[in-house]
Chains A and B, each alone.
Chain A
């Protein structure tokens, strides 16, 4: 017994190191999972206050870019209003009517912190649970999707950006509706890769890539970007398609958090299927 204590005492430095290191890995593992409420995330008061100040300065730098992209978005929405008055997509309709049931609602938010140069990037927004933001809601920007909410505090939330190694969005080729998942390889924040599209599907450079409604996170049909290059991986049945994002993540300022009013319904019946498969 004394020997054991002696051994522990002699190696206290290493043991203490290992103990703290294990705690660190616990924190890392905890944060990687979704929907974990924890004090140690970037939604606490001190952190967000600092970010607000930094962002106040940064917003001026990107003012011109942001104005242009918001103006472009306005123009696009305005065209939709006049051109298809009857088939008005419920997504952009603030009015409840009896033909189209409202499925998506938008909460406007400002980006107060954003990173692009890490392997895993996060964005902080100035809207939180008081405004109805919940984990796993989608976030869209003026020119495409941005990411998925992961932590929420009263006034703030953090978003797992598309530029994250775990991010995988369900998207399709607009022309022929073939779908796959969009991932980021960690190199250039302007390009992402579309996988899981079968080699037999005809693809043209310049094809539009839009969202699908499968994940119930984003409305379907949001334009994300265009195909710039595609190749067949040897030995793989799929294409590797390089997509240029329409959105410039470095000048992101005004975004919308998407609330899917039917998400519960969609996921509850999908759960039923999953439960049945597990039984079999």
Chain B
């Protein structure tokens, strides 16, 4: 699989060499490594679907806010209405500092400061945009977080009313508007991703001390209730 991607990477580099700014020095293999920072929210590759963030196949030259069925932030909706299209330059600006390009985006990512990192990630992303038929037949990238929890925990149906009460503990930091600025957005996540993430904190797999403390005393039912509340919050 790696060799196939490398091959495609080479092809892509040649194919886009003439485009201004495109893929100058971008190393898709390195970009694939860097993309692990993105993959907890964004799937890419064959069978990729929207999760916490929209799937990213065919992102190049797609108008912003167009992954069908994904609930975008108001900020992204506004940017889309304003005609934002994902070109190399706009993607470059977005992954450098998401909130400076799209204020109030829910994307909780501080950005890649380094131009080489951005070039490499974009080279990797481009593999899945250049020619759809070339999308590698790999499984979609990492699903939610690397943490396994029992199916019966995932099957718990949460009570959103209880979740609303419990959410008071979350909203001292996380904004119900979905605005993210140093504290991630937790609104409109697929419930499963929310539950997995919270159990990852509870079980000490995710390492944030505040979240480990908060998740540590939530029962399975309480986590499900919070997931249900935040998934459909207005």
Note whether A and B form a binding pair.
Answer: no
User: B residues within 8 Å of A by Cβ?
Assistant: none
